[in-house]
Amino acid sequence: MDIRAIDAAEITAAVKKLFMDCNYFIGGDIMSSLERALEIEDSPVAKSVLSQIIENDKIAAAEEIPLCQDTGMAVLFVEYGDKVCVQNGSFEDAVQQGVREAYDEGYLRKSVVSDPVFDRVNTRDNTPAIIHTKIVSGDRIKITAGGKGFGSENMSAIKMLTPAYGVEGVKQFILDTVRAAGPNPCPPIVVGVGIGGTFERAAQLAKKATFRAIDTHNPDERYALLEDELLEKINEMGFGPAGLGGKTTALGVNIETSPTHIAGMPVAVNICCHAARHADTII
Amino acid sequence: MAKKIQLPITDEDIKSLKAGDSVLLTGTIITGRDAAHKRLFELIEKGEELPVDVRGELIYYVGPAPAKPGYAVGPAGPTSSYRMDKFTPALLDLGMKGMIGKGARSQEVIDAIVRNKAVYFAAIGGAAALIAKSIKKEEILCYEDLGTEAVRRYTVEDFPCIVAIDCEGNNVYER
């Protein structure tokens, strides 16, 4: 296969569009799930909250304005074909420029501070984005992008479980994390779970899981069943929409896994609000 | 049916509100979140005067997105309230009447609400585009350098929220 040249400007334009789109247009999977939840809820409060969320998401799409004021920290999962050569700039700079332009020209909130502890000065363009890059064979670049709000991000957790905990230990940790989050992460939530790998791989998989559509399942049936079981148990907790009580605390549970060490079983739980925003494109 | 409340909120209004009530607020509120609270709290600790008079006010925990041309404000939904828990009792003790945010509060905040006969309202998290329709005007009061975290005055009409913790300490999040 020959080397394929991609202009940096093309990458910038694609990234810009992804972040604007995902902040204005909620995914069809989330919208259908919200509409189903509205049908099954009995309590007037839960119904009212869900109706308002649905109305909100329709307004955002129709007017092309952000559906949530927290337009998030920009996170990208990139599959970078090894036959791609970026011209007229670097890949990293092209992506950061796309984020900058989306947040500036798209009226998205700039929510990033330069230093986490001491200065906490806003970078004023929402960069730097968090970029997870995987080199794959081929001559294309696939980008999955999302704005991750921190109301839910703050409710996330990771634990280095050991093999003796087994599947029951995994379930316990996930349910404990969701219970501790309670009404805070803007329920109904999407729960992304990463199991296996190392400390950082588990966390990365958990984030990746929140970027997967909620009308899909893990291809391994054992994990697919676990996703369903956890969703049911979470919805029995009763936090409900906006944490004001109801049957719909979560819209989906997505699990991603990785091989791990003989001594370990890391489990990361990344919680996402109902504004689970992600979009993807292939260049 | 939602109760309509004309701001500034009165002690009688607060006394009449019960956890779980739906309300529509009309009048003006102030805004503030993490960074502004930290600054205000530091001034209170030093015994200095605040750049904004919080007495009688409701504070809305929000960091709005920028307004698109033609809009009074950008999307402006509530942020998680618990992050302000450390600072809230001091503001209530100064005479602030209540907060608008989302999610649970600490026991210290609940105690301060009861002690000061205040109220905590919840707005719907993630309904920012919808909520912004009830905000008619904004004005920056202080801390403009904080950008989205600056303290603003919002003029609101039928701003929708729910009484989350009433002045007797009843709490909708308890389950």
Residue B169, pLDDT > 70, answer: yes
Q: Do A84 and A103 belong to one domain? A: yes
Per-residue model confidence as pLDDT tens digits over A104-150: 999 999 999 999 999 899 999 999 999 999 999 999 999 999 999 99
Residues in A 125-154 with any Cβ partner in B closer than 8 A: 151, 154
Q: How many residues does chain B have?
A: 175
Helices (H), A25-90: 28-40, 44-63
As for how many domains chain A has, the answer is: 2
Q: Do A217 and A271 belong to one domain? A: yes
Neighbours of A162 (CB within 10 A): 11
**3-class DSSP assignment, residue A125:** coil
B19 touches A at CB < 8 Å: no
Predicted local distance difference test score (pLDDT) of residue B175? 64
User: What CA–CA distance (Å, rounded) separates A90 from A4?
Assistant: 15
**What would the mean pLDDT of A183-198 be, rounded to a whole number?**
97
Mean pLDDT of chain A: 96
Q: Do A157 and A274 belong to one domain? A: yes
User: What CA–CA distance (Å, rounded) separates A283 from A14?
Assistant: 8
Q: Do A180 and A240 belong to one domain? A: yes
For B102, phi then psi, to 5°, come to: -150, 145
Taking an 8 Å cut-off on Cβ atoms, the answer to whether B130 and A52 are in contact is yes
Give the mutation candidate from A43, A50, A57, A69 for the B interface (greatest B CB count, under 10 A): A69
**Domain annotation covers residue A193:** yes
Nearest Cα residue in chain B from A153 = B80
Helix (H) or strand (E) holding A136: strand A130-136
Q: Do A77 and A158 belong to one domain? A: no
ipTM for this prediction: 0.92
Examine the fold and report which residue of A148, A175, A201 is the final residue of a domain before the chain moves on.
A148
Radius of gyration, CA atoms only, chain B:
15
Per-residue model confidence as pLDDT tens digits over B120-137: 999 999 999 999 999 999
Contact B28, B52 (CB under 8 A): no
A70 touches B at CB < 8 Å: yes
Give me the amino acid identity at A181: A
Work out the pLDDT band at B1, boundaries 50, 70, 90: confident
Q: Do A115 and A155 belong to one domain? A: no
Q: Do A238 and A251 belong to one domain? A: yes
**Domain annotation covers residue A51:** no
For A139, phi then psi, to 5°, come to: -125, 30
**Domain annotation covers residue A218:** yes
Taking an 8 Å cut-off on Cβ atoms, the answer to whether A60 and B82 are in contact is no
Task: Give the rounded percent of residues in chain B with a pLDDT score beyond 70.
Answer: 99
Helix (H) or strand (E) holding A97: helix A91-105
User: What CA–CA distance (Å, rounded) separates B57 from B140?
Assistant: 15
Q: How far is A191 from chain B (nearest CA, A)?
A: 16
**Domain annotation covers residue A78:** yes
Q: Do A123 and A219 belong to one domain? A: no
Q: Do A76 and A122 belong to one domain? A: yes
Which among A10, A15, A18 is positioned nearest to A278, based on CA atoms? A18
Please, what CATH class does the domain formed by B3-165 belong to?
A: alpha beta
Look up B37 and say whether it is catalytic. Answer: yes
Query: Contacts of residue A185 in chain B, CB cutoff 8 Å?
Result: 80
Catalytic residue among B5, B31, B33, B37: B37
Q: Do A15 and A137 belong to one domain? A: yes
Nearest Cα residue in chain B from A104 = B66
Q: Whole-structure pTM over 0.90, yes or no?
A: yes
Domain of residue A217 covers 151-281
What value, to the nearest 5°, has the Cα angle with vertex A205 and ends A199 and A210? 135
Question: How many Cβ pairs closer than 8 A exist between chain A and B?
Answer: 128
Examine the fold and report which residue of A121, A148, A175 is the final residue of a domain before the chain moves on.
A148
Predicted local distance difference test score (pLDDT) of residue A1? 64
Taking an 8 Å cut-off on Cβ atoms, the answer to whether B126 and A275 are in contact is yes
B127 touches A at CB < 8 Å: yes
Helix (H) or strand (E) holding B137: strand B135-142
Q: Do A189 and A265 belong to one domain? A: yes
Examine the fold and report which residue of A148, A178, A207 is the final residue of a domain before the chain moves on.
A148
- The distance in angstroms from the start CA to the end CA of chain A is 17
Taking an 8 Å cut-off on Cβ atoms, the answer to whether B63 and A45 are in contact is no
**What would the mean pLDDT of A199-211 be, rounded to a whole number?**
97
Taking an 8 Å cut-off on Cβ atoms, the answer to whether A183 and B104 are in contact is yes
Pairing state between β B119-122 and B58-60 = unpaired
